[in-house]
Amino acid sequence: MSDELVRLLFEDAGLIQAHIDGGYIWQHMTLEEYLAACYLTEQKEIALMYQCWQQDHDRWYHVILLVMGCLLRQNDVGSAGYWLSLLVSNHCGTAIKTTRQQQQDAFCAAVCYSELGGRRVFASHPYDVITFEQDLRNQLVDLLERPDSSMTLTRRLEAATALARLHDPRYPVSLSAWATESASRLPPSEPTPPSQHLLLPGTDQPQRYWCLVPGGSYVLGGWGCR
C-alpha cells in the first residue's frame, strides 16, 4: 500500500490498525471478509475457496456467503454451479471425503443454495439441478441421522430446515406417496426376507412412515427409571 493510502485508512477512516509485527491489520473482520470475497469472485478462485473452506470451516463460512451474493449480482451461474458440485461430490480430488468433511460440505451446500435463490437461479442454465438436489437430500439425511461430532445443534437445525424445503425423502408428501406408504402396511403375498429390510430396532418390521402398533397396554415415559 502507498503511504498516502495507509494514512487515509489509518488516520482518516480508522479501517486499519498497526500490528505488533510492524504491519497493519483490518479493524473490522466484516470488511476483511468482504474484500476476500471480492477477490475470490473476481479471480474466479472457486477451487481456492474450497481449499480454504476445508482448512477452517468457521473462518471462511461468512466469506463464502458473501461470495454467493457477489456471484448472484454478476449472474455468474456457472461458478455457482461449480461450487455446489464441489460441495456435494463424495470425492475431494481423487480421495474420498471424510464423514466430517462431507457433512460440513452438505451443510454449506444447503445454505449456499438458499442464498443463491434455489432452483430458479439455474432455470436458464444447463446445470443439473435435479441431480444436485437429490444428492443434497441424501447427504442431509445422513447428516441428521448420523451427525458428526463437529456438527453443532444450530447447524443441524439449519440442515433440517433446508431438508424440509427440499422435501425430506423419508416422508410421503404427495397423495400417491401416501397411498403407496399406506398400502405397504398390508402383508405382501410374497414377504420380503427381513434381512433385506432396514428394520426397526428390536422388531421384524421395516422402517416406514407408518408402523403397525399391536393392540395392548403401553407405558409411556419413564425409560431408564428404576
32 found inside a domain: no
28 φ/ψ angles, rounded to the nearest 5 degrees: -120, 125
Is 180:205 a contact under the CB 8 Å cutoff? no
- Report the pLDDT value the prediction gives residue 89, as an integer from 0 to 100: 96
Q: Is residue 74 part of a domain?
A: yes
Structure confidence by residue, pLDDT tens digits, 60-119: 999 999 999 999 999 999 999 999 999 999 999 899 999 999 999 999 999 999 999 999
Residue 203 scores a pLDDT above 90: no
Higher pLDDT, 143 or 187: 143
Instruction: Identify the domain containing residue 165 by its residue range.
Output: 44-169
136: in domain: yes
Give the distance from CA 206 to its chain's centroid: 28
Is the pTM higher than 0.75? The answer reads no
- Tell me the pairing of strands 16-18 and 95-96: unpaired
Query: Is the sign of the CA dihedral 33, 39, 42, 47 positive or negative?
Result: negative
pLDDT at 33: 86
Residues whose CB falls within 8 Å of the CB of residue 56, separated by 6 or more in sequence, listed in order: none
**Do the Cβ atoms of 24 and 10 come closer than 8 Å?**
yes
52 domain-assigned = yes
DSSP for 156-212, please give it: HHHHHHHHHHH--TTS--SHHHHHHHHHTTSPPSSPPPGGGS-BPTTSSPBP-SS--
Within-domain flag for 211:
no
Question: How many folded domains does the chain comprise?
Answer: 1
